[in-house]
A and B are shown apart, each in its own frame.
Chain A
Amino acid sequence: MARPSPSGLVDVVDLILDKGLVIDAYVRVSLVGIELLTIDVRVVVASVDTYLRFAEAVNRLDLKQDPEKGLPDLIQDMQEGGAKKKTTGALEGVGDTVGNMIDRVRGHGDDEDDDLTDEDEDEDEDEEDQEDEEDEQEEVEEEPARRPARRRAPAQRKRRER
Chain B
Amino acid sequence: MNSAIPRQTGEQDPACYVYGVVSDSAPEPAAAQGVGDPPAPVVLVRHRGVAALVSEVDPTAALGSPADLRAHANVLDTVAQHAPTLPFRFGGVVRDVQAVTDELLDPFGDTFAAALEDLGDRAQFAVRGEYRQGAVLQEILAARPDIAKLNEQTKELSEEAGHYQRVQLGEMVAREMAARQQEDTSALIERLAPLTAAASANGVSADLAVDAAFLVDSGRRREFEAAVEELAHDWAGRIDLRLLGPLAPYDFVADLIEQAGGGP
Contacts and interface: CB of A to CB of B under 8 A. Distances in A.
A56 B163 CA distance: 11
A83 interface: no
A101 B174 CA distance: 11
Interface residues of A, number: 77
B141 A58 contact: yes
Given A98-B177, A133-B67, A20 B253 contact: yes
Contacts, number: 254
Given A21-B253, A50-B174, A62-B155, A1 B91 contact: no
A143 to B, nearest CB: 14
A88 interface: no
Interface in A94-108: 95-102, 104, 106
B206 A44 contact: yes
Contacts of A32: 15, 59, 93-95
A9 interface: yes
B167 A52 contact: yes
A36 B170 contact: no
A24 interface: yes
A127 interface: yes
Given A48-B167, A58-B137, A36 B91 contact: yes
Contacts of A4: 242, 244
B99 A3 contact: no
A99 B178 contact: no
Interface residues on B, range: 35 or more
B90 A2 contact: no
Interface string A82-126: 000000001101011111111010100000000000000000000
B138 A61 contact: yes
A22 B141 CA distance: 45
Contacts of B57: 34
Contacts of B108: 26
A15 B206 contact: no
Contacts of A9: 66, 69-70
B171 A100 contact: no
A97 to B, nearest CB: 5
B15 to A, nearest CB: 5
A97 B137 CA distance: 11
Nearest to B132: A96
B184 interface: no
Given A23-B92, A26-B108, A98 B133 contact: yes
B9 interface: no
Nearest to A41: B205
A37 B151 contact: no
A153 interface: no
Nearest to B108: A26
Contacts of A106: 207
Nearest to A89: B242
A56 B133 contact: no
B166 A23 contact: no
B130 interface: yes
Contacts of A133: 65-67
Contact of A97 (B91, B132, B169, B251): B132
A37 B168 CA distance: 36
B264 interface: yes
Contact of A127 (B66, B232, B243): B66
Nearest to A95: B133
5 contacts: A1-B232, A1-B242, A22-B88, A101-B133, A104-B207
Given A20-B90, A130-B65, 20 more contacts: A1-B241, A1-B243, A3-B244, A9-B66, A16-B87, A20-B88, A25-B263, A26-B107, A27-B99, A29-B99, A29-B103, A37-B63, A38-B90, A53-B170, A58-B137, A59-B151, A61-B134, A64-B138, A91-B240, A133-B66
